Amino acid sequence: MTSFYAPNHLKHIAGLEKRFGPVSDEVATGLRSLVRVICQHEDPVEAIPFLERCLALEEALHGSEATLSDLNTWIGQAGGVDFEDLEPLQLRRLAVKTEVFGETSEQVAAECQALAQRYGSNVPYRKARALLERSIAIKEKLHGADSVEVAEAVDLLAETSARLEKWKDVEADLQRSLELKEEIFGARSEQVARSLLAAAIVYANASKLQQSGTRHERIRKAVSAFDSGLNLLEERFGPDSFEVQNALEAMIRAYVECREFRRAEPLLKRLLAIREKAYGNDAPALLWILTELAKGYAEESVDEAEPMLERSFAMLRMLLDAKKPIFRPGIANLPGNGDGVLEQLVRASDRFRSNLRKRWGAAG
Amino acid sequence: MTDYDKRKRKCYCCGMASERWELMSSNSFGSRDLDQRPPGMFRSTVDAWLQECPYCGYVAPSIDKGDANARSFVETPEFRAASLDPLAEPASRRFLVRAAQDAFYGDRRSAFLNTLRAAWVADDSGRASDATALRLRAAGHLGEGPLTSLDTRLLLLDVLRRAASWHAAAALIAELMAEELEHPFADIVAYHRRRIEVRDSGRHTIAEALARESEPDRGEADPELVKAIARHLKIVRKPGGSS
């Protein structure tokens, strides 16, 4: 026992046991008080043995429903606790809720989702999936198979599978989500558009590390889903809208990530044109687009690489100019494989020079 | 092997569908010309590099693709002037229409490259004076201002030499030589300088330029030079003794 507060509290609890009996509300209250103090000032894990005793007493005195309040309080305070310490108590809360509210209840569905999200970031994917399927089954009974609640739960299932890169499952989940949304919101709704865009990004990501045949098929699916989703967003919000820009940006990042520059290029050019029109030709919002274009062209096209590299370097110089220091933090924070924009451009420039030497006859 | 296939495409600008033979594959073994014209079978596919809509005249590598500039350019007098040019043959005219679009939107390098390609078409048809005029027109797209792109300047150098624009070519050579370029760029420039000295405006390849610039074959050393080196070595050895 390492808790500073436990010895004194336990002495007091021993007195309560003598006076009121070992199975009494007074002893449970004493234990609850000790658990609260430890959670407030020490590691909540230290409180688990006392919490277990307290829960056993409450269950014996008032039934399992009475334990929910203490379980909720401890779980609510256990944010930084390791999942292996948290899991038994969260499973216990799920069992209690199932007993108290019945399997087909919002409370059990929500608990399944909460627990699954914890599993989703803690490796046991199968357990998470089983809990989410259970939550979906409950919601289907409560709200109907074609309901917003079920669609949200299916999205959560897809998100969990995607986070753990279970691509086959993600594809099936997204298809399920798409069909549901077409049924609920209509085939040309914003929700369907967003599902299609999510599917496109998943297909692109899933193409990584695949053999060329499978990779090509996944990319083809990505392009098709993206085009359909983008069409719906354009229809609803307009071709230059923020929604369309966000969709372009997300898809560009997915293509760049899976080294499909030729697919990303038309989207980059379109986003560049929209932003040039909106913010002018030297806006900081253009720099990452120019950099991606310069990097891509440097790999394969001398004709296009040189002007793009020149423009990117010129813009970077202008933004880093002492007269405009306001842009410096923004540039430093621009994402890109762990390097800053300058490093990326210098590497692209080296690559371009090497390709230029080959173009003019240098060996290798 | 060069393959063509008949394809139908809907024009990006006017939406009308039309059919044409499109280049599916080809090869380009060998060395490029000094203006980067490709070798092999691909060289002779130049008339298939751009497509033209028979209804509105829009020209692009693939007429079902384009951007906002493409749509607005087909409404301009510059487009009409280029696309109705009665003197140019179809393949050449397509490059000139594209060059006019590039120039209209300020893309000097692309305008230069597309006009140069129109000159290649003229070369193939044996219209030497048209080819020269087109090369000068291509150079004109780059304007008077300074050029930073090494690639563009090397292309321009060949364009000026082929157009027998000796003074301009010599000035560009002087500028490039002052930059102390590395291999292979320095070799290319030196080759052009020699060609210009003998007023050669013919077609040459990169391989020719680099072959003539390579170091002399050490296997065929001058015997007199070998004897002189041997004498020198004897003199050097004397103070050291036996070895």
Query: Domain limits of chain A?
Result: 1-81, 102-185, 188-275, 280-364
SS3 A100: helix
Inter-chain residue contact A360 with B188, CB threshold 8 Å: yes
Handedness of CA B129, B131, B132, B138 (dihedral sign): positive
Would the pLDDT of A296 be above 80?
A: yes
Instruction: Look at residue B240 and tell me whether its pLDDT is greater than 60.
Output: no
Residues B135 and B153 grouped into a single domain: no
Task: Classify the C-alpha dihedral A357-A358-A361-A363 as positive or negative.
Answer: positive
> Per-residue confidence at A126, pLDDT binned at 50, 70, 90?
confident
**Alpha-carbon dihedral B144, B149, B152, B157, rounded to 10 degrees:** 70
pLDDT tens track for B179-197? 989 889 999 999 999 999 9
**A303–B68 CB contact, under 8 Å:** no
Query: Span A115-129, mean pLDDT?
Result: 74
CB atoms within 10 A of CB B121: 24
Mean pLDDT of B12-22: 92
**Identity of the amino acid at A18:** K
Residue A159 CA to residue A198 CA, distance in Å, equals 10
Question: In angstroms, rounded to a whole number, what is the distance separating the alpha carbons of residues A113 and A106?
Answer: 11
Q: What is the pLDDT of residue B233?
A: 60
* Same domain flag for B117 and B100: yes
Would you say A136 and A122 are in contact if contact means Cβ atoms under 8 Å apart? no
pLDDT band at A364 (very low <50, low <70, confident <90, very high): low
Q: Which residues make Cβ contacts (< 8 Å) with residue A204, sequence separation at least 6?
A: A218, A219, A222, A251, A254, A255, A257, A258, A260
Contact yes or no for B179/B144 (Cβ under 8 A) = no
Q: Domain check: are B121 and B60 in the same one?
A: yes
Q: Answer yes or no: do B114 and B156 share one domain.
A: no
DSSP letter at B145? Answer: S
Residues of B in contact with A361 (CB under 8 A): 31, 184, 187-188, 206-207, 209-210
Number of neighbours of residue B200 by Cβ within 10 angstroms: 14
Q: How far apart are the CA of A74 and the nearest CA of chain B, in angstroms? A: 59
Q: Which of A60-64, A171-175, B181-185, B236-240 bottoms out in mean pLDDT, i.e. has the lowest?
A: B236-240
Q: Dump pLDDT digits (tens) for B31-67.
A: 999 999 999 888 889 999 999 999 999 999 999 988 8
Interface test with A, best of B31, B32, B108, B149 (most A CBs within 10 A): B149
Q: How far apart are CA A293 and CA B219, in angstroms?
A: 48
Same domain, B136 and B216: no
pLDDT of residue A22: 92
Same domain, B176 and B216: yes
> Which residue of chain B comes nearest to A277, CA vs CA?
B68
Q: How far apart are CA A361 and CA B206, in angstroms?
A: 6
Q: For this complex, say whether ipTM is above 0.85.
A: no
- How many distinct structural domains can be found in chain B? 2
SS3 state of residue A178: helix
Contacts of B41 (CB under 8 A, 6+ apart): B1, B2, B26, B27, B28
B149 and A307 in contact by Cβ < 8 A?
yes
In this predicted structure, the answer to whether residue B241 has a pLDDT above a threshold of 70 is no
Asked if the Cβ–Cβ distance from B185 to A357 is below 8 Å, we say: yes
Comparison of pLDDT for B138 and A76, the residue scoring more: B138
C-alpha radius of gyration, chain B, whole number:
24
CA distance A229 to A195: 8
* Residue in B36, B40, B2 with CA at minimum distance from that of residue B22: B2
Q: What is the DSSP letter of B21?
A: E
Amino acid in the structure at residue A32? R
pLDDT at residue A333 is higher than 80:
no
Rounded CA separation A102/A65 (Å): 12
Tell me whether residues B67 and A273 touch, CB distance under 8 A: yes
User: Chain-wide mean pLDDT for chain A?
Assistant: 86
Contact list, B149 vs chain A (CB under 8 Å): 306-307, 310
Task: Give the pLDDT score at A156.
Answer: 87
The single residue listed with the structure tokens 């989500």 is A177
Chain A environment of B183 (Cβ under 8 Å): 357, 362
Q: Give bridge partners of residue B7 from the DSSP assignment.
A: B20
Q: Which of A81-85, A143-147, B161-165, B199-203 has the lowest mean pLDDT?
A: A81-85
Cα separation of the two ends of chain A: 69
Among B95, B111, B144, give the residue marking a domain's end: B144
B6 and B124 belong to one structural domain: yes
State which of B95, B115, B144 marks the end of a domain.
B144
User: Do residues B96 and B115 make contact, with C-beta atoms less than 8 angstroms apart?
Assistant: yes
Can you name the residues that pair with B33 across neighbouring β-strands? B205
Q: Is A360 within 8 Å of chain B by CB?
A: yes
What's residue B93's pLDDT?
Answer: 94
Say whether both B210 and B185 belong to one domain.
yes
pLDDT confidence of A145, banded at 50, 70, 90? confident
What residue spans of B125-222 are helical by DSSP H? 128-141, 150-162, 166-177, 185-197, 206-213
Do B98 and B150 fall within a single domain? no
Percent of chain A with pLDDT over 90: 46
**CATH of span A102-185:** 1.25.40.10
Same domain? B189 vs B119: no
Q: Last residue of a domain, which of B119, B144, B169?
A: B144
Mean pLDDT calculated for residue range B76-80: 92
Q: State the Cα–Cα distance between residues B141 and A349, nearest whole angstrom.
A: 25
pLDDT at B220: 55
Q: Are residues B113 and B155 in the same domain?
A: no
CB B176 within 8 A of CB B190: no
Nearest to B157 by CA among A84, A275, A361, B142: B142
d(CA A166, CA A120): 11
Q: Give the whole-angstrom CA distance, residue B77 versus residue B68.
A: 17
Fold classification of A188-275 (topology level): 1.25.40
pLDDT-based confidence at A215, cuts 50/70/90?
Answer: confident
Residue A67 binned pLDDT confidence (cut-offs 50, 70, 90):
very high
Average pLDDT over residues B89-105: 93
Find the domain containing B122 and state its range.
1-144
Specify whether B87 is located in the same domain as B168: no
Contact B151 A357 (CB under 8 A): no
Q: Is A306 on the interface with B (CB under 8 A)?
A: yes
Query: Is residue B90 reached through a cis peptide bond, with omega within 30 degrees of 0 on the bond before it?
Result: no
